[in-house]
Structure 1
């Protein structure tokens, strides 16, 4: 389940939505976070971009189970169940917190699902931006409603892919 390791590889990648910090442990990708203000200008990520994009291409061409095995987000069993369920949301589509709760056989746990989604440590690859409130609007997206709407719009474009979100 959960583990802690001191061995870590981290890099920054620039996207049109801001700098991403990627942390990788020997078990897999532990976190991908938007780093607003911490390091806003990543001007040369070429050393890391090519190998990461190669990894991402292989990641995207595997099953959902294979994708989950390549990730190692630290969290409770419930959080990991929710995060794993988010991998099943197709790009360009959205689900509600209630739908996710129902999908994990916890139909009355919409709020708990929302809390787990808010704690998601792997931006873009665990697509918490695809989850919206049943009442509409963006919900409380960890990295802001403008970024959430921009990501959803980018995914709606023809031939959009997660790969393109990292470019």
Structure 2
């Protein structure tokens, strides 16, 4: 532009921005649902199901927390409060799951990677920011139920047997 117009021109007045965002978010549902199911399954079915439980703080946090990420201490405290093993949960199991967080996504062919653990800063980050936006539009109670994180005494994902 080389000059200022004499009158204002309104662009996009009839566009429902909220509906447009919701439509774009809905297009990503398949990808993010697949991510959660594959990530929750971990490398193999285990008694502690640490990868499944790593999703619990992610699915229950507010958007601001998701943007900031989770420190190791925050994750440990959260899992001690919500994981079926409670305070008896060995911190080494959490550390190992976090250290292999990216490797799991690579093995499961999840692209782009959604979660990444910074071993130097001891922080779990959501590196796919679209996932944060997608979560804003989801019923988190439904997501927790779908991953069997709402009732830890029930069997896990479909196709997996509860370990004894």
TM-score > 0.5 by shorter chain: no
| Structure of greater Rg | 2
Q: Which has the higher contact order (CA 8 A, sep 6+)?
A: 2
Higher helix share: 2
